[in-house]
Each structure stands twice: as structure tokens, then as C-alpha cells.
Homo-oligomer: A and B are copies of this chain.
Amino acid sequence: MDTNTLRKYATDINAFYMKNRRMPSYSEMLDIFDLRSKNAVFKRIASIVKKGFLEKDQKGKLLPKRLIKPLRLLGSVSAGFPSPAEEELQDVMSLEDYLITNPQSTYLLKVEGDSMIKAGIHHGDLILVEKNRTPKTGDIVIAQVDNEWTVKYFEQKGKRVFLKAANEKYPTIIPTQELVIAGVAIASIRKYK
């Protein structure tokens, strides 16, 4: 069977996995592939696995393909860039697993403005925000000031709280009334181009 077709089939299975958070059984693949016989599914999966688009674990259970393959260190001197051969040996990890501990309360926000530019957060960047987290000094928070939502550094001295921009041209804010903190930034992400 054509390689591209097999790749598409693997994608269909991954789509099921994304939606249902588990791999489909062969019976369920009858529907996915519009087939009548489980044996047809069996052969099809065998081809897909042979091509390497999907894998099975030690118990023969089909595994979802991970989007991100390796997390690897780019050493300043020695490490070098990995060759395809090394890849297989490496541990794999999901970017989302790595960044997110509480998916339920984690959001992705787009930053506007340049008030955090000194912190490496530019206009257009995304930040992962976790709600329901009490900020500590130094944390980057999303706070409501004068009915506007802004990204600031959070600082606490005793009982007093400041919101500091990472850009001199913005003033430090000392909240007069109640301060509303929507969440704490746990990661920032910039996509190029």
C-alpha cells in the first residue's frame, strides 16, 4: 500500500487518540477505515507499524505517536546536534507534559504591548497562565489594573504589593483598591515568523 496513504491512516488513528485520549481497538478502526473485516485492519496496522508511522509496546498494544521526539541538550561545546541514529535511544517527552502540571486551570494567552520586554516577553508572544495560584515575588502575573488586564512582575514586601513592568518607561503600580490576579505565568512561548 502506498506510503502516503499509510501515513494518512496513521494520522486518522492519532486523531482518534487526540479526541478520545486512547487508541482505538481494531473494532473501532473498522469504522475509522470503513472496513468490514478486522483482519483487514490487522493487516493495515501491520503495514503502518512496519513503515514506522506507529509503534507497539512490549505488550503489543498500539502506541500513539508523540509529536515531539526528544528533549535534548544543546551543549555549548561537546553535545552537538543529534543524528537520526541517536534519536531512537533518547527519552521522549511531550512539550505539554513538560510545561503543564494542571491542564484544567492552564490557559494560553497572547501578550500585547511591550511592558515586559526586558523579561524577554514581546508583543505577540504567548504565555501559559495558571489560574488559582498564589503569586510569589518575582512571578509574572496577569493582573487587572484600572479595568485593564496587564502582564507585570509581582512583588510583595510584607503586606504591600507592587506590580512592576519589565520596561522602565512604564511605572510601577501600587494597587489602591483590591488587586485582581487572574493567573500566574508558568511559561512563555514565542513562535517565529
Interface residues of A in 101-130 (CB under 8 A from B): 102-104, 106-113, 117, 120-122, 126, 128
The 3 A-B residue pairs whose C-beta atoms are closest, nearest first, are A120-B120, A81-B182, A74-B109
User: Cα distance A22–B61 when bound, in Å?
Assistant: 9
Q: Does chain B have a CB within 8 A of A23?
A: yes
Selected from B61, B67, B99, B103, the residue in CB contact (under 8 A) with A189 is: B99
Q: Is A3 an interface residue (CB 8 A)?
A: no
Say which residue of B82, B113, B120 sits within 8 Å of A107 (CB atoms).
B82
Q: A71-B106, A76-B149, A95-B96 are in contact. List 19 more A-B contacts (CB 8 A).
A: A21-B63, A21-B67, A21-B68, A22-B23, A67-B96, A67-B106, A71-B96, A72-B107, A72-B109, A72-B110, A74-B151, A77-B111, A77-B112, A77-B149, A81-B109, A95-B99, A95-B189, A120-B121, A189-B190
Copies of this chain present: 2
**A68 contacts across to B, CB distance below 8 A:** 18, 21, 94, 96, 100, 103, 106-108
Which residues of A does B touch, CB under 8 Å? 18, 20-23, 57, 61, 63-82, 93-100, 102-104, 106-113, 117, 120-122, 126, 128, 139-140, 142, 144, 148-151, 182-183, 185-193
**Known contacts A69-B103, A69-B104, A106-B68; A75/B121 CB under 8 A:** no
User: Do A103 and B66 have beta carbons less than 8 Å apart?
Assistant: yes
